[in-house]
Amino acid sequence: MSCNGCRVLRKGCSDMCPLRTCLHWIPSPQAQAHATLFLAKFFGRSDLFSFISSVPLNDRPALFQSLLYEACGRTINPVNGAVGLLSTGNWHLCQDALRTVLAGGVLTPLPVLDDSSGSHEMPPAEASKRRRVSGEQSEKTLMRFDGICSHNQRKLLNLFV
């Protein structure tokens, strides 16, 4: 049976599928599909499989999570990415972006703010517009995701150094 990642990519799947082990930390099949599709669009399907296949089996879930955070960070902050959001104290924006992706929402870049103020916070009006997720099932998925990932929040592999 195909894993949710291969199913959404319409790719053949086997017991040795590189994606299968990467998706166990994501609670729902829909969220797994959204995450895989988002990464495949961001990095390209063949590059995604190349990245995952080049890492030992036990590190693949951490790699997938790190790639997901980096893709979310680069989408909302194209210049500095996830590391920039982390270093400026705006990691919560990256986490919100990840929740949006897992729920099937659309990410847009943050508005360009004046750097002289030192603040890269999104105005509250923009934050409320950004999240286009509704429905009881989406909220349950996000709550389960928060419980699973809260202990891994600081685990970010910097693969682009």
Q: Which residues contact 101 (CB under 8 A, 6 or more apart)?
A: 34, 35, 38, 68, 72, 107
| Residue 2 confidence (pLDDT) | 73
pLDDT of residue 40: 92
What pLDDT shows up at residue 38? 94
pLDDT of 37 reads: 92
pLDDT for the residue 17: 83
Interval 133-159: pLDDT, tens: 444 444 544 444 454 444 444 455 555
Q: Whole-model pTM above 0.85? A: no
DSSP per-residue string spanning 47-70: HHHHHHHTS-GGGHHHHHHHHHHH
3-class secondary-structure state, position 95: helix
pLDDT value at position 21?
Answer: 84
Q: Which residues of the chain have pLDDT under 50?
A: 113-120, 122-138, 140-145, 147-154, 161
Given this model, what pLDDT does residue 153 score? 47
